[in-house]
């Protein structure tokens, strides 16, 4: 039996009695007071309190992408992290766009989402952003990963390689552009929430 298979059978070192996910409610909330600080800090709240809408979730994906990008640069082998970083940034863009302009039907198509944003900005602020860097950045991601699959899978639905040629990404420029893009999205979301509260 090889080592990987042996690890699958080895249960004594794994805590399999505790579920990975626990819904927090009135009956079990008191349990938190009985835990040690180490136990509390090793758990994360992945529930409704932290995620009010797509923009809240987008913030978390953005932070994860930035952390992974920084770790990749420090590793000396950043290419090992490329696809997860790019997926996280692409997914962040998708979530922000969905949070800003709700869609009539579910879609992962960034071009459709981009067009909805362009229409929204034009109708709300009278400004055409179709030729600007925001729309261009979204278009770049939409062009290289149109259906949110290229950064997640090696092959497409027909079994063809997702990338026929090498792609080079400047991680510093990517981070700079993503930070600026997400700041624009956050400001737009804050403006929307401000208008709702008036």
Contact assessment for residue 85 and residue 172, using Cβ atoms and an 8 Å cutoff: no
Task: Count the domains in the chain.
Answer: 1
Q: What is the mean pLDDT of residues 168-186?
A: 92
Distance in angstroms (rounded) separating the CA atoms of residues 194 and 198: 6
**Is residue 31 a part of any domain in this protein?**
no
Q: How many residues does the chain have?
A: 198
Q: 53 by DSSP, 3-state: which?
A: coil
Whether residue 195 contacts residue 125, with contact meaning beta carbons closer than 8 Å, is answered with: no
**46 domain residue, yes or no:** no
Predicted pLDDT of residue 18: 63
Strand partners, 161: 155
pLDDT in tens, 44-90: 555 555 556 788 889 999 999 999 999 999 999 998 999 999 999 99
Distance CA 194, CA 145 (A): 33
Q: For the chain, percent helix, then strand, then coil, each to nearest 5?
A: 60, 0, 40
- Is residue 131 within 8 A of residue 122, CB to CB? The reply is no
Q: Is the pTM of this model over 0.75?
A: yes
Mean pLDDT over 124-141 rounds to 94
Residue 109 within any structural domain of the chain: yes
Give the SS3 label for residue 155. Answer: strand
Does the residue 29 lie in any domain?
no
> Which tokens go with 144?
């290289």
Q: Is residue 4 part of a domain?
A: no
122: pLDDT strictly greater than 80 = yes
Residue 122 domain flag: yes
- Residue 97 — very low, low, confident or very high, per pLDDT cuts 50/70/90? very high
Please report whether residue 12 resides in a domain: no
Token couple for 73 = 């640069």
Residue 47 located in a structural domain: no
Name, in order, each residue with C-beta under 8 angstroms of 155's C-beta and a sequence gap of 6 or more: 161, 162
Provide mean pLDDT across the span 113-125: 94
With CA atoms as reference, report the closest residue to 188 among 18, 180, 70.
Answer: 180
Residues spanned by the domain of 98: 52-197
Residue 16 is given by DSSP the state -
Phi, psi dihedral angles at 107 (to 5 degrees) = -155, 150
């Amino acid at each position: 039996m090889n080592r990987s298979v042996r690890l699958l059978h080895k249960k004594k070192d794994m805590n399999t009695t505790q579920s990975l996910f626990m819904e927090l409610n009135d009956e079990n909330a008191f349990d938190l007071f009985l835990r040690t600080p180490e136990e509390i800090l090793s758990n994360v709240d992945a529930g409704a309190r932290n995620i009010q809408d797509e923009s809240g979730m987008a913030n978390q994906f953005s932070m994860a992408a930035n952390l992974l990008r920084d770790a990749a640069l420090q590793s000396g082998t950043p290419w090992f992290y490329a696809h997860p970083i790019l997926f996280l940034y692409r997914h962040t863009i998708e979530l922000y766009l969905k949070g800003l302009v709700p869609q009539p039907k579910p879609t992962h198509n960034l071009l459709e989402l981009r067009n909805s944003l362009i229409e929204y900005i034009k109708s709300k602020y009278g400004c055409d952003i179709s030729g600007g860097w925001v729309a261009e950045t979204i278009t770049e991601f939409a062009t290289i990963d149109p259906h949110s699959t290229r950064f997640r899978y090696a092959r497409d639905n027909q079994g063809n390689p997702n990338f026929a040629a090498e792609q080079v990404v400047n991680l510093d420029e990517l981070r700079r552009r993503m930070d600026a893009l997400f700041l624009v999205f956050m400001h737009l979301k804050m403006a929307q929430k401000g208008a709702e509260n008036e």
